[in-house]
Structure 1
């Protein structure tokens, strides 16, 4: 039983329309801007313009952190896009969500509240709150699961959802992730790790430079992205639009270091995704890379891709859209999955922005700053490689029966 994507929903730094977001990425439009001028060190991030009152009443918002607000909106948009839930038994519907850090705003308010802690702080910041709120909004009585695996969280959620649909455990899965951590305390913590991009005044928009020789790190981003997954047979029977098939996925662990990536672990995930899809490396034409623009991470990812693709590497176009929308951590895999699906559907590749001089040791073919047309693209992957050593690769193909 094939699992296909029939709905897309995003609340992103480039807006709440998935198609318009993709258009902005094709233009190389950056959503990264300075934040928190009061901090000792300059910081930048990609934030979301979001009015929760479009999705909640004031009474409903009590104890609902921004991370859950974004999740509810993105999941609702995906469900609307799929037009799917009218005839689904609630027990045959599931939510699979990724969230790396939970309700950061609720925690920040509790720590800085001068001893006055809101009574709903715990349910607001727990990492499974976004999934629970989505389930309540959509009346989901099947499995409601949260994966908190740092940067791989929502990619793992999508893989697990696709597996459940393929097994016949569910008729429909709402899968994705949410993250809302642009608060001073979190930014300070990431600055302390020396992983965030440095930038000069007026240059925040181009601070993130994946695979560039002068890269210096990433910028945090916030947002949510969800997809609706169902069987190809069910989608065909109801005449649904099928964006892509979830053809393969690979999950692996480095088991070497908590924060340093390992090429061997990434190779195992890439090979597993190809094996599950029944494809050879030469069959896959685009990779939306993890590409965090860190000194070590980009080189290791390129090494892993080179090992797996071998002589076919010249046929794999690579870009990291984090240069434009920031790093959404737990929601990164889901947002980048939506971008990869749209690249496949449209036959257009978003650019690897801000890379004037590529890192000499990164031997992968990068999508140019103007983007690229890929009308014959039939298969694409997206990588999510996380702190903790978890690697997740999602592989999407065109639905040939669409």
Structure 2
């Protein structure tokens, strides 16, 4: 039986799932200034932060999403075989940075991962595995979750993704940007680069059940081209897209909506636009294309699942949010049906979600509406 997404929970700079969806439909941008001390140290003045304090923030966001998603799905790990896969890019590296600055040299390695946070939020969960697969980590976790459910090795899988900004990652962005980035502008001719966003997302994946769930999880195509440390490889991305279509048994002309990776960087946007143009060549009028990073920033290891959660809502409701920050499409994206300005009413049946990570870690997911 096919795998189904039966519940979703997210946390972004806008708040929980309903607040985030409403903000996306309005075309809001959650960018905010970073504190002055941080900005001076790392050379980045803005981000898409979740305004809360304390330590181990990604773990707390993830735990909140786990509890919410379990309740929505009606899944009880104490009575069912439930495992959890958590995708991340940075793990709890911010805590390591703080410990190092405080002179602590024996930071417990297990606190980098999320086993304790998930187990506390989901008593009875059989196992928690953290996948540190850069910005496509959630997509890789989703592929494994589908395997576990379809082979009968789990009754349900909690698929999570979470990341928070770190000084080291901010400093890297500050060094490579050609000019200060004020906001993320995916596929815009005036884009200046990427900014980090705080966030977490959790999906519950089960076998298809009587109520149909939220959306069918058709397939996730994967590739690991290792072509460059950071630059995307179009051939590697193309392999992941075609792998997803083949596994799902869907043709390009059957795809109605694409949730693009859309980082607002010159390399990613141009590469992704060219790949989409090649894949959907001859598919008139072609799928609608949107992206969420202009609204919530780049949420790193949580970004793939956040896009999947948004795609699920688009399939359920028939509304597609616009790309926040897109005013003047870049030439390479001119042939795409970019959603800009305002949300559009549509009737998408199949959605494609792109996620590309450093080192050529690519994951492309196909979902189908159940309405």
* TM-score (norm: length of structure 1): 0.86
Q: Which residue of structure 2 aligns with residue 304 of structure 1?
A: 275
User: Alpha-carbon deviation of 1:68?
Assistant: 1.1
Q: Which residue of structure 1 aligns with residue 28 of structure 2?
A: 29
SS in 2 for 1:315: coil
User: Alpha-carbon deviation of 1:184?
Assistant: 3.4
Residue pairs, 1:170-185, within 5 angstroms = 170-181=154-165, 183-185=166-168
Query: Take 1:339 and 1:49, find their aligned partners in 2: how far apart are those partners?
Result: 22
Q: Does 1:123 align with 2:110?
A: yes
Aligned CA RMSD, in angstroms, stands at: 1.9
Q: Does 1:370 align with 2:354?
A: no
SS in 2 for 1:296: helix
Q: Which residue of structure 2 aligns with residue 74 of structure 1?
A: 65
Aligned residues of 1:314 and 1:364 also touching (Cα < 8 A):
no
Aligned residues of 2:214 and 2:312 also touching (Cα < 8 A):
yes
User: Alpha-carbon deviation of 1:121?
Assistant: 4.6
Residue pairs, 1:2-401, within 5 angstroms = 2-16=2-16, 18-38=17-37, 39-40=39-40, 41-50=43-52, 65-85=56-76, 88-89=79-80, 92-113=81-102, 115=103, 117=104, 120-124=107-111, 126=112, 129-181=113-165, 183-194=166-177, 198-199=180-181, 204=182, 207-232=183-208, 235-236=209-210, 240=211, 242-312=213-283, 314-362=285-333, 363-374=335-346, 376-399=347-370
User: Alpha-carbon deviation of 1:75?
Assistant: 1.2
* Pair 398,88 (structure 1): closer, same or farther in 2 beyond 3 Å: farther
Query: Take 2:280 and 2:164, find their aligned partners in 1: how far apart are those partners?
Result: 35
Q: Residue by residue, what CA displacement relative to the aligned partner does 1:263-322 show, whole Å, maximum 9, x if unpaired?
A: 111111111111111111111111110010111110100111111111116321111110
Aligned residues of 2:270 and 2:332 also touching (Cα < 8 A):
yes
Query: Take 1:384 and 1:378, find their aligned partners in 2: how far apart are those partners?
Result: 20
Aligned residues of 1:151 and 1:330 also touching (Cα < 8 A):
yes
Specify every segment of 5 or more residues in structure 1 that has no aligned partner in the other structure, as ranges.
Answer: 53-63
Query: Take 2:119 and 2:241, find their aligned partners in 1: how far apart are those partners?
Result: 31
Q: Which residue of structure 2 aligns with residue 58 of structure 1?
A: none
User: Alpha-carbon deviation of 1:342?
Assistant: 0.6
Query: Take 2:109 and 2:153, find their aligned partners in 1: how far apart are those partners?
Result: 32
Query: Take 1:317 and 1:333, find their aligned partners in 2: how far apart are those partners?
Result: 18
**Count of aligned residue pairs for this structure pair:** 367
Query: Take 2:326 and 2:173, find their aligned partners in 1: how far apart are those partners?
Result: 23
* Pair 87,139 (structure 1): closer, same or farther in 2 beyond 3 Å: closer
Specify every segment of 5 or more residues in structure 2 that has no aligned partner in the other structure, as ranges.
Answer: none
Q: Which residue of structure 2 aligns with residue 55 of structure 1?
A: none
SS in 1 for 2:201: strand
Aligned residues of 2:44 and 2:173 also touching (Cα < 8 A):
no
* TM-score (norm: length of structure 2): 0.93
